[in-house]
A and B are shown apart, each in its own frame.
Chain A
């Protein structure tokens, strides 16, 4: 079954221990300056603070990710366990994933000569071992919880149901872009923290694959059509040439229709 994270902003106390654990897990630097920074190529998750309302930003690890469908070399991939992983050895740096991501998550190592794409990969190596993500493990209040996606959805629904006034009546990530492996609950609209508000409920890859899936048809039909046209026009030219040779006449007319 697919794993997921549930972040409940109302339980968050902005202790930023998830940021620190994330940095440690991924071998990234962490200090007070970095703590104040937004998501970047050296910071895969950030706790935002807006008028004492908090919100985490991290890769949503979409169920059917736009980045994975965009990547020409399949460097980004959705694993059955939930995480969307990145194989740096395949990446050629076209950055189409950055364009395609509806949440603007993938960041690029612009300062390096041989850059990589950087993003949260939901601690895929830990998850594969049956562990929870570093951020969920370290969270002191249970604001970030790790578990089965179905169970977390049920729990989120129950929390909204039990405390109707406390939450925006919406689980962000339940249906957005076909669902994500990171689910969010909040007391203020998600747009205030940069989450796109009006999202399609269908998976983004469908937008391009609907067209791409027609490629074999275009090739087959195009070949038949163009071959057929050529067969007719070249036959016509042959006949015209033969007639011309027979008559030995001045030879005009059949092609002169456009030469006014």
Chain B
């Protein structure tokens, strides 16, 4: 391993965590008003944007679980576990940032007992809670394998299918509901983004982000751990991403046509520029991925996945911040504390991922093709797996 680079990233991580811890202290000692740039005119800021996209980027969890377990495409199994882990970390960050953002964090459990079934937020609270449990159940076999708890392992394997089905349904519900949150602000969200089909857009773009995340992560795990999906599988995913992006982009264009908002694109406003940025980040990979020279190559696929992820992040930020600014009558730019806490959450997610990979069989070497059968006992020493060569296709 490249030692100086390793130390550099450790330093970055340490710095971010320190800044985050300081910002967190300020937030809990001085309160939201003194430690953030939030106000009566702009009650939802960067943290809400972060929550929206952390869940979208975790969309790979339900997409790939459905592909592997429901559509039975077992050749994608090798990347499933790291994706489930990513999703689990994404949702954990969502919950942590929610707790930080809440005015009274110690009441975060209130939706459990105080119900309002007309509230989108209530539905999201329940779905996120249940789906995080689902993700835990989907990932826990890695821990049981490591501990060699065979009984617990076969128990969890026995409920795989119902758990995965519940996970897909819960994800469909709350991914779209994060868009539904904004249905109630027709007078506030800028018309380039406000649409009665916002829930559909949020769901479709979460699927796009999910697929892009699988490619992205496969590439990175190959760099870091010498493991990745075989190129044909990634090429297949690239094609699926091309189609998913096309569907998403088409639906958004149709919606804009029907609402007659294209004339807004000539106005020299911040909203226009950031909308065009978002559009460019999503349309470019869509077009490139149809080009054989791009989608047949790892670098091309990787580049397109990065563009897609950035596009979805930009979309969520635009909905949460850019699109809400004009109607609020104020100018909102996050305070450094908001950035520090957000970045340190991202950094901790990366660090936790690396830790989990080090100590748990996140990348199991070879799996049997049978769905319910327990994977081959994981090798005892984690390090030996890290040096292992690329995955071999289960059926070859």
Contact = CB atoms under 8 A, between A and B. Distances in A.
Contacts of A40: 40
Interface in B68-125: 69-72, 74-75, 101-105, 107-108, 110-111, 114-125
Contacts of A110: 31-34, 38-40
B298 interface: no
B201 to A, nearest CB: 12
Interface stretch (A85-93, A147-155, A180-188): A85-93
B122 to A, nearest CB: 4
A94 interface: yes
Nearest to B118: A69
Those 3 A-B pairs whose CB atoms lie nearest each other, nearest first: A93-B103, A110-B33, A233-B72
Interface stretch (A7-15, A28-36, A203-211): A203-211
**Which one of A93, A115, A227 has the highest number of Cβ atoms from chain B below 10 Å of its Cβ?**
A93
A115 B102 contact: no
A218 B172 contact: yes
A259 B74 CA distance: 13
A72 B186 contact: no
Contact of A93 (B66, B102, B183): B102
B261 interface: no
Contacts of B183: 207-208, 211
A96 interface: yes
B31 to A, nearest CB: 5
Interface stretch (B139-147, B161-169, B218-226, B376-384): B161-169
Interface string B27-43: 01011111000111101
A100 interface: yes
Given A92-B104, A226-B70, A212 B120 contact: yes
Contact of A94 (B31, B121, B173, B185): B121
Contacts of B165: 222-223, 226-227, 230
A138 to B, nearest CB: 26
25 contacts: A40-B40, A70-B121, A73-B116, A75-B114, A91-B103, A93-B104, A94-B121, A95-B44, A96-B121, A96-B181, A102-B188, A108-B40, A108-B103, A113-B30, A113-B31, A209-B118, A211-B120, A211-B176, A211-B183, A212-B117, A219-B173, A226-B70, A230-B69, A233-B72, A259-B393
A108 B43 contact: yes
Contacts of A107: 40
B4 interface: no
A74 B125 CA distance: 13
Contacts of A99: 43-44, 184-185, 188, 324
Contacts of B34: 110-111
B40 A208 contact: no
Given A72-B111, A99-B185, A218-B169, A211 B199 contact: yes
Interface of B: 28, 30-34, 38-41, 43-44, 66, 69-72, 74-75, 101-105, 107-108, 110-111, 114-125, 161, 165, 168-169, 172-173, 176-177, 180-181, 183-188, 196, 199, 232, 236, 324, 369, 371, 393, 395
Interface in A172-227: 196, 198-200, 204-205, 207-209, 211-212, 215, 218-219, 222-223, 226-227
A70 B173 contact: no
Nearest to B41: A104
Interface string A57-75: 0000000001011111111
B169 A222 contact: yes
A50 interface: no
Contacts of A258: 75, 232, 236
B179 to A, nearest CB: 9
Interface residues of A, number: 64
Interface string A157-169: 0000000000000
Given A70-B119, A199-B187, A211 B180 contact: yes
**Which one of B101, B187, B199 has the highest number of Cβ atoms from chain A below 10 Å of its Cβ?**
B187
A95 B185 CA distance: 14
B103 A230 contact: no
Nearest to B120: A208
A237 B120 contact: no
Contacts of B105: 92-93
A129 interface: no
Contacts of A205: 118, 184
A40 B33 CA distance: 14
Given A212-B117, A223-B169, 11 more contacts: A68-B118, A72-B116, A72-B125, A90-B110, A93-B105, A95-B44, A116-B103, A207-B186, A208-B183, A233-B71, A259-B75
A131 interface: no
A31 to B, nearest CB: 21
A177 B176 CA distance: 24
Contacts of B393: 259
Contacts of B103: 91-95, 108, 114-116
A47 B149 CA distance: 70
Interface string A218-260: 1100110011011001101100010000000001100100111
Nearest to B40: A107
A241 B395 CA distance: 11
Given A111-B33, A230-B69, A98 B236 contact: no
A98 B324 CA distance: 13
Given A72-B121, A218-B173, A98 B40 contact: yes
A40 B114 CA distance: 28
Contacts of B41: 104
Contacts of B123: 212, 215
Contacts of A108: 32, 40, 43, 103
A116 B236 CA distance: 52
Nearest to A251: B395
B119 A95 contact: no
A101 to B, nearest CB: 9
B64 to A, nearest CB: 14
A102 B187 CA distance: 7
